[in-house]
Amino acid sequence: MNDISTERLLQRFIRYAKIYTTSDETSDTVPTTQRQFDLARLLATELEEMGVPARVDDKGYVYAHVAENLPEDHPASGKVPAIGFVAHMDTSPDAPGEAVQPIVHRGYDGQDLVLPGDPQQVLRPEDMPELKSQVGKDLITSDGTTLLGADDKAGIAEIMEGVQRLMESPERLHGSISIAFTPDEEVGRGANHFDVDGFGARIAYTLDGDVLGKIEKETFNAHAATFKLGGYNVHPGSAKGKMINTLYAAAEIIRRLPENMRPETTEKREGYIHPRAIEGGVDRCTIRLLIRDHDLEESKRKIALLERISDEIRDLFPKVTIDLEIKESYLNMGPKIDEDPRILNVAMEACRQVGVEPFLDVIRGGTDGARLSYMGVPTPNLFTGGFNYHSVREWASLQDMEKATQMLMKIAELWVAEV
């Protein structure tokens, strides 16, 4: 039997998961979808009800502050650095996110889990070895027709529950805690309008990871590359000596990308160059690529490779105009987080103290934390107990969510001893 606060965590998660907050890459508004305000307002209201001042800004961000509760005669009084917890409210546009019906599977028996809304959707331990450690725990899934939204509503529920428990337990001493819930993380804009000063903390943790114990302090260095090719179009019947077809040059660019630098041939700390879109016709063609590497020097080598290819194609197709543009998207947060070893040490120790063995891993992607780390708020990413994100087969483990909740409360307490 779960205790009453674990059940409250579950109900909280279900409440948030049901709210439709899918973000939209094609939208130019801030946030990209107005519906994200529905969750933002609910969270702010719930925080206020706990006695935690909270606000929703016009960009859809929720900010809240839990005051330090150290007695005045405590040696650390007024000296504990403010720390923050961050999670994102939107869910991925990659899977349906409207009318989510969370289903709680009590005491998982280790067998295949068939999702009732679409019996084709089955969670099989043989496909998902992570399920094997969940026997006896309570799992939450969708009904199979939508994603669950544990990414990142598990993180939100844990922060909200952790804050409520701290408010109910004045004997648990902590410094000042900043909370932020961001919109549009899934479309890469979660940090765009983040109010660093309003947030207040200069150290933070995103709760946006997955399996129990995993702590992530490295993201990719991410760049976007765009080739713009220009040619000349004319009726093919009278094109001799006149037409300049960019598509041949485009094909040649793609052909020269090394096979061992593709997303589908790399893993772990191996970076890639990924041609993600090509659009155009005879007279104009655009190729969009992603460059990803944990090592910045390797990223620079990949950029140099694209520049070399660009030069070669220019020689090969002298009449085609070729323009290569490289833009930085975000950088690996690892070097920023390493600047203050306490940030990770406290998280690892908090994990151990709640009975979970922590392990470090690298993210093959980015988080809000990567951008925040370069905005003056170093922000590693912590596990939430969810898994298989952006999928109708997404799931979360209630007992692992409970551990994440305990961990973040412990982090707040352990920072008092760091002074």
Pick the catalytic residue from 90, 138, 208, 210: 90
Helix-strand-coil percent breakdown of the chain, rounded to 5?
Answer: 35, 20, 45
Q: Is 368 exposed, middle or buried (0-12, 13-18, 19+ CB in 10 A)?
A: buried
Nearer to Zn ion, 151 or 184 (CB): 151
Q: Tell me the C-alpha distance between 289 and 281, whole Å.
A: 18
| Minimum CB–partner distance for residue 91 and Zn ion (Å) | 8
Burial string for 235-251 (b: 16+ CB within 10 Å, else e) reads eeeeeeeebbbbbbbbe
Nearer to Zn ion, 24 or 118 (CB): 24
| Minimum CB–partner distance for residue 55 and Zn ion (Å) | 23
| Minimum CB–partner distance for residue 381 and Zn ion (Å) | 9
| 199, 375 Cβ separation under 8 angstroms | no
Whether 90 sits among the annotated catalytic residues: the reply is yes
Q: Tell me the C-alpha distance between 343 and 340, whole Å.
A: 6
Nearer to Zn ion, 138 or 151 (CB): 151
Nearer to Zn ion, 158 or 208 (CB): 208
Task: Retrieve residue 316's tokens.
Answer: 């090969």
| Minimum CB–partner distance for residue 113 and Zn ion (Å) | 22
| Minimum CB–partner distance for residue 107 and Zn ion (Å) | 28
CA atoms within 13 A on the CB side of 59: 15
First-to-last C-alpha distance (Å) of the chain:
39
Pick the catalytic residue from 185, 186, 216, 394: 185
Nearer to Zn ion, 317 or 387 (CB): 387
Nearer to Zn ion, 208 or 402 (CB): 208
Residues 6+ apart with CB under 8 A from 371: 190, 191, 194, 330
| Minimum CB–partner distance for residue 400 and Zn ion (Å) | 16
| 387, 395 Cβ separation under 8 angstroms | yes
Q: Is 399 exposed, middle or buried (0-12, 13-18, 19+ CB in 10 A)?
A: middle
Q: For residue 36, count other CB atoms closer than 10 A to its CB.
A: 26
Whether 151 sits among the annotated catalytic residues: the reply is no
| Minimum CB–partner distance for residue 309 and Zn ion (Å) | 33
Contacts to Zn ion by CB under 5 A? 151-152, 208
E strand intervals along 67-203: 83-88, 103-105, 113-114, 122-123, 139-141, 177-182
Nearer to Zn ion, 148 or 253 (CB): 148
E strand intervals along 92-143: 103-105, 113-114, 122-123, 139-141
Torsion of CA 20, 21, 26, 28, to 10 degrees: 120
User: Which residues are marked as active site?
Assistant: 90, 185
